[in-house]
Chain A
Amino acid sequence: EVQLVESGGDLVQPGGSLRLSCRTSGFTFGDYGLTWVRQAPGTGLEWVGFTRSHLYGGTSEYAASVEGRFTVSRDDSRGIAYLQMNSLKTEDRGVYYCGRGRTYGGVKYWFDYWGQGTLVTVSS
């Protein structure tokens, strides 16, 4: 059974840092892309970042709102993806979800399995 479980959400002050984890099981994590998406209270889904599998270079992509502050990384041997969040702002608050990427040729990705989310609160 494919499973993704996020953790690491917490209350942090503006300007602080936090690292989220996405632990996966039930599939060969290294063969899949992995995305992070968030939902602030009362708003819709916002894409945050994405990491490609080693099959397609292992590179990452980011939303403009987090570029330079957030970093997506992965440990294929342990089946875990990370979202390192630095210089946090109040607008970064919300539930963060990770999702498994599907693709035909490493160019376009949609996401077929998701975790239950972890809550990040940024407040002084």
Chain B
Amino acid sequence: AIQLTQSPSSLSASVGDRITITCRASQGIGNALAWYQLKPGLTPKLLIYDASSLQSGVPSRFRGSGSGTDFTLTITSLQPEDFVSYYCQQFNSFPLTFGGGTKVEI
């Protein structure tokens, strides 16, 4: 199975900050990577697919990049509602796998 190593596992930031979360795959996956946001008690939300394609309705401050084994999610200007958890997921092959998650805290 392809392993995804996500870092950092948590980070502290302030409103307006620019942050970057990384996701490294144990083998090349092309651009078959998605990023999700998970708020406690709410439904998971797709942010990015195909490594860099912004899901419809998602604010443009969310940006994905990378290919092969190294990927990043950047939030260019943190908003109060962004202080939640984020997960990468590879869909290059089954079994599908998620990164360990990143909790963004104030």
Contacts and interface: CB of A to CB of B under 8 A. Distances in A.
A111 B100 CA distance: 18
> Of residues A102, A108, A113, which shows the largest number of chain B Cβ atoms within 10 Å of its Cβ?
A108
A110 B91 contact: yes
B63 to A, nearest CB: 17
B19 to A, nearest CB: 18
Contact of A61 (B38, B41, B95, B97): B95
Contacts of A39: 38
A99 B98 contact: no
Majority SS at the chain B contact face:
loop
Given A110-B34, A110-B89, A44 B101 contact: yes
Contact of A47 (B49, B98, B100): B98
Contacts of A24: none
Nearest to B35: A110
Contact of A117 (B34, B43, B97, B98): B43
A116 B34 CA distance: 19
A39 B46 CA distance: 16
Given A44-B87, A45-B38, A64-B1, A114 B98 contact: no
Contacts of B1: 64
A114 B87 contact: no
B91 A109 contact: yes
Nearest to B92: A108
A112 interface: yes
A58 B53 CA distance: 27
Interface in B83-104: 87, 89, 91-92, 94-101
B98 A45 contact: yes
Interface of A: 4, 35, 37, 39, 44-47, 50, 61-64, 97, 99, 102, 108-117
